[in-house]
Amino acid sequence: MVAYMNREALERTLATGNATFWSRSRKALWTKGETSGHVLRVHSVLCDCDADTVLLLVDPDGPSCHTGRPSCFFRKYEDGEWREQPVDARPFLHELEAVIEARQQSTAEKSYTRSLLDGGPAKIGSKIREEADELSRAIAGESDERVLSEAGDLLFHVLVGLRQRGLDVRGVLDVLAKRTGTSGHAEKASRSPKA
């Protein structure tokens, strides 16, 4: 999303960690999510070359756009018209995590997810190994459809494993983001002194 900030809005954002803007029409500060609950928890704050634009990298608690979409930039100019873009993968992964968490906490009915979590690390680990093996075989010599389906199975079980440890995909994305700019080999060497 794009919104206006004055110095006070920026100071409030830096002090509270929640994105806060200045409404020029209402002439008042407003913290994103103060009525909707969809706050933007600020991760990092960057500014551009001539310091007239601030970029906030955030963890959104719900959709950023008042239309309920994850981003305000959901229309793209293509073939002479503005076309709505499909939802990107990250919010979908967060939603899937929310479903897994809900199944974990549900006392109502037994679900597959719940039985995995009840089985603990041993059960989840053996499913992850099994799915990884199936995906490897699919990549080596099966149809694209099979590869996508097996990758989906593996991803799901990885999310359940993270959930079991109280971790989430956001943490994984942070790790990957920190590695950006470092080659895979260099990163691996930095972790293992023998390599």
Kindly report the three-state secondary structure assignment for every residue of 76-95: EEECCEEEECCCCHHHHHHH
Q: CB nearer to Zn ion: give 30 or 101.
A: 30
Q: CB nearer to Zn ion: give 65 or 151.
A: 65
Q: Does 3 bind Zn ion (CB under 5 A)?
A: no
Contacts 24+ apart (CB under 8 A), 151-155: 154/128
Residues 72-91 that bind Zn ion (CB under 5 A): 72
Buried b (16+ CB within 10 A) or exposed e, 32-59: bbeeeebbbebeeeeeeeeeeeeebebe
> Minimum distance from CB of 66 to Zn ion (Å)?
5
> Minimum distance from CB of 12 to Zn ion (Å)?
21
Q: Does 155 bind Zn ion (CB under 5 A)?
A: no
The residue range among 47-55, 68-76, 102-110, 149-157 that interacts with Zn ion, by the rule CB under 5 A, is: 68-76
> Minimum distance from CB of 96 to Zn ion (Å)?
24
Q: Does 54 bind Zn ion (CB under 5 A)?
A: no
| Secondary structure class of 171 (helix, strand, coil) | helix
Q: Which residue has the tokens 């959930």?
A: 163
Q: Which of 10, 29, 42, 65 binds Zn ion (CB under 5 A)?
A: 65
Q: Which residue has the tokens 């990758």?
A: 151
- Are the CB atoms for 76 and 102 separated by under 8 Å? no
Residues 93-132 that bind Zn ion (CB under 5 A): none
Q: Which residues bind Zn ion (CB under 5 A)?
A: 65, 72
